[in-house]
Structure 1
């Protein structure tokens, strides 16, 4: 399972690509993909926060509030 940081990296990659294409359907699709990756990151963070046993290790520790580490 990917970490929230990995999902956010994918979102940023989509935004970078979107800046390189002209306005239109392709750009809109890339920006929608970025929003989807960000939503997945938010969901992953919530899962790890509520279910620490789902943590994949150090990468997920950054996703948890300090009180859960």
Structure 2
């Protein structure tokens, strides 16, 4: 708990399991591992592109030389 507090992480944050009993922590961790990730922890890395924005074609800005 001290490490979480020092890091500024709430004990009830997504993907965090705390308990006084190691068996309870293991049970919570096992349940989360079944889902592979704590998706609630992450914010989307890519914002949706507005429909009016032009599409970028990868490599279109490179000049070809013979």
TM-score (norm 1): 0.26
- Between Structure 1 and Structure 2, the one with more helix by share is 1
| Structure of greater relative contact order (alpha carbons < 8 Å, 6+ residues apart) | 1
TM-score (norm 2): 0.27
